[in-house]
Amino acid sequence: MLGPPGAGKGTVNRLLSERFDYFPISTGEVIRREMADPDSPFGKLARPHMDRGDYVPDDLALSLFFSILKPMSVNAKVALDGFPRTIPQAEVFLDWIQREGHAFHGCVFLDVDVDTAVKRMRHRRVCRDCRAPYHLLHRPPKKAEICDLCGGQVIPREDDDPERVSRRLRRFQEQTNPLLQWFADRDKQFRLNGALEPEENADRVAEHFQLT
Ligand SMILES: [Zn+2]
């Protein structure tokens, strides 16, 4: 699942994983969790890039995802949000999928205009302790500003400040737009209007990929 920051990738992915038997993996959440762990070598390597609002380098993103995916059951159904996000990542990743005998079903492109994206991001929150994601409109914590899972404090996401958001939008245009065209050229891109309600987009993804 790909789209600019604020397109609603994480929300749509979570809605689908609640209804269907598959495992959602969010690149942003994985990387932020690694960065919050002082013992994570990946977190240390990723931090300078993330702090600037840049993508982490391709080799780093690939090694992180292989370390997550390799131990999973061969029968696991996985929905990735925000990975692969460049053409070099996709080439290595799809080669691996084929070699391992897995199947790749396609790429969902959640397209959204900048105004809608910026409005959405204003409502994003995260638990400072366990990194559980929240959204004040779509998934508010049960008690205001308190994490449902661990009781930690729920705060705005550190990487949602305007400067880093505009840099992530530029990176998306430079590096992920060409990848979306790459998927379209291979007849593997399913485009949705990210400004629609996440529930509606979840329905469309389920129908398109015939999820069960
Ligand atoms: Zn928490």
* pLDDT, one tens digit for every residue, the chain (212 residues): 999 988 988 889 989 999 998 889 988 888 888 988 899 999 999 999 988 888 899 999 999 999 898 888 888 899 999 999 999 999 999 999 999 889 999 999 999 988 888 888 888 999 999 888 898 988 899 999 999 999 999 999 877 888 888 888 888 999 999 999 999 999 999 999 999 999 999 999 999 999 88
Tell me, what's the pLDDT at 193?
95
Q: 95 C-alpha vs ligand 1 centroid, how far in Å?
A: 36
Q: 141 C-alpha vs ligand 1 centroid, how far in Å?
A: 10
Answer whether residue 107 is part of any domain: yes
Tell me, what's the pLDDT at 127?
93
Instruction: State the alpha helices, DSSP H only, in the chain.
Output: 9-19, 27-36, 41-52, 58-69, 87-99, 114-121, 162-171, 177-185, 198-208
CA distance 191 to 111: 7
Q: 205 C-alpha vs ligand 1 centroid, how far in Å?
A: 29
Tell me, what's the pLDDT at 116?
86
Answer whether residue 167 is part of any domain: yes
Tell me, what's the pLDDT at 96?
93
Answer whether residue 110 is part of any domain: yes
Q: With contact defined as beta carbons under 8 Å apart, do 64 and 31 qualify?
A: yes
CA distance 3 to 129: 27
Percent of the chain topping pLDDT 70: 100
Neighbours of 20 (CB within 10 A): 15
Tell me, what's the pLDDT at 70?
87
| Partners of 153 in the β-ladder | 146
Q: 40 C-alpha vs ligand 1 centroid, how far in Å?
A: 19
CA distance 200 to 195: 10
Sign of the CA dihedral 203, 16, 27, 151? positive
User: In the numeric block, which tokens belong to residue 147?
Assistant: 């994490």
* Total structural domains within the chain: 1
Answer whether residue 4 is part of any domain: no
Catalytic residues: 9, 85, 124, 157, 168
Answer whether residue 154 is part of any domain: yes
Tell me, what's the pLDDT at 111?
95
Q: 36 C-alpha vs ligand 1 centroid, how far in Å?
A: 13
Tell me, what's the pLDDT at 61?
94
CA distance 170 to 4: 9
> How confident is the model over 91-137, as pLDDT tens digits?
999 999 999 889 999 999 999 988 888 888 888 999 999 888 898 98
**What CATH number corresponds to the domain at position 99?**
3.40.50.300
Tell me, what's the pLDDT at 114?
83
CA 102, chain centre distance (Å): 21
Domain that holds residue 22: 9-208
Tell me, what's the pLDDT at 95?
96
Answer whether residue 3 is part of any domain: no
Long-range CB pairs of 199-204, under 8 A, 24+ apart, other chains included: 199/15, 201/8, 201/12, 201/110, 202/12, 202/15, 202/16, 202/19
Q: 53 C-alpha vs ligand 1 centroid, how far in Å?
A: 24
